[in-house]
Structure 1
Amino acid sequence: MSITANTLAAGRCNHQTTALDEAGIKENLAALPDWKIDGGKLSRAFDFKDYYQTLAFVNAIAWVIHAEDHHPDLAVSYNRCGVKFDTHSVNNGKGGLSVNDFICAAKVDAIFAQRAS
């Protein structure tokens, strides 16, 4: 069974100690075409009409991400929010990417897709 954005979004984060290998990263990334790997982190920028919409998005993803207990780096400006995920607990604390990063990215995409235009 191939990985899809829907199967990732339906997933739940669990404590991870092992990073995904290159094949695992590619397979998960294929399900999330708007995301890229940047500096070892799963990254995407989201554009909005104004600061209010940007902050509404940040608040919405904060609610979901807190429930998953997997928190990204956020860069918030007037009409843009950059989101970067990685997993600090993998590779003996050296960090890397785990399935949790892709689960949360899919959940963030789902929230973005539901925004009011």
Structure 2
Amino acid sequence: MSTTQTLAAQRCQHQEQALAEAEMPALLAATPGWQVEGGKLCKTFAFENYYQTLAFVNAIAWVIHADDHHPELVVTYNRCVVRFDTHSVNGGKGGLSINDFICAAKLELIAAQGSAHAG
């Protein structure tokens, strides 16, 4: 069984096959607050101000760059919406892979160190 810690300890690797639907519930349980919307793994992080929002974005930038798995980010004054998907799966059509959940778990650990909360 995956946990946030076990997922975050993994490294992203090239993926060509999307996750099976049956794999999703356990992975979602290991990444609290994340949900699948429009084929992407999504979460909104809320902050008190713009400085905290940008500090979070800067902190996650290093992690997502190191794993070479880059999400879509929507940054506003006190929120950051994160949307992961894997472009290389399903013959290049995209979908979800284990990489999305690995990075989501890493972002959870970063958020837990700061003042982010789901919003």
| Unmatched tracts of structure 2, length 5 or more | none
The runs of at least 4 aligned residues of structure 1 exceeding 3 Å deviation read: none
Q: Which residue is equivalent to 2:74?
A: 75
Q: Aligned with 2:42: secondary structure?
A: strand
Cα distance in 2 for residues equivalent to 1:97 and 1:26: 13
Cα distance in 2 for residues equivalent to 1:17 and 1:27: 21
1:42 correspondence with 2:35: no
Cα distance in 2 for residues equivalent to 1:116 and 1:77: 16
Contact 1:9 1:106 (8 Å CA) reproduced: yes
Cα distance in 1 for residues equivalent to 2:115 and 2:3: 24
Contact 1:74 1:82 (8 Å CA) reproduced: yes
RMSD: 1.0
Q: Which residue is equivalent to 1:24?
A: 23
- Aligned amino acid, residue 87 of structure 2: H
| Unmatched tracts of structure 1, length 5 or more | none
TM-score w.r.t. the length of structure 2 is 0.95
Deviation, structure 1 residue 27: 1.8
Deviation, structure 1 residue 77: 0.1
Contact 1:25 1:97 (8 Å CA) reproduced: no
Cα distance in 2 for residues equivalent to 1:84 and 1:92: 20
Cα distance in 2 for residues equivalent to 1:106 and 1:85: 12
Q: Aligned with 2:62: secondary structure?
A: helix
Q: Which residue is equivalent to 1:64?
A: 63
Deviation, structure 1 residue 30: 1.3
Q: Percent identity?
A: 66
Cα distance in 2 for residues equivalent to 1:24 and 1:11: 17
Task: Show CA shifts across 1:29-55 (max 9, x none).
Answer: 111121000111000000001000000
Contact 1:54 1:76 (8 Å CA) reproduced: yes
TM-score w.r.t. the length of structure 1 is 0.96
Deviation, structure 1 residue 116: 4.9
Q: Which residue is equivalent to 1:101?
A: 100
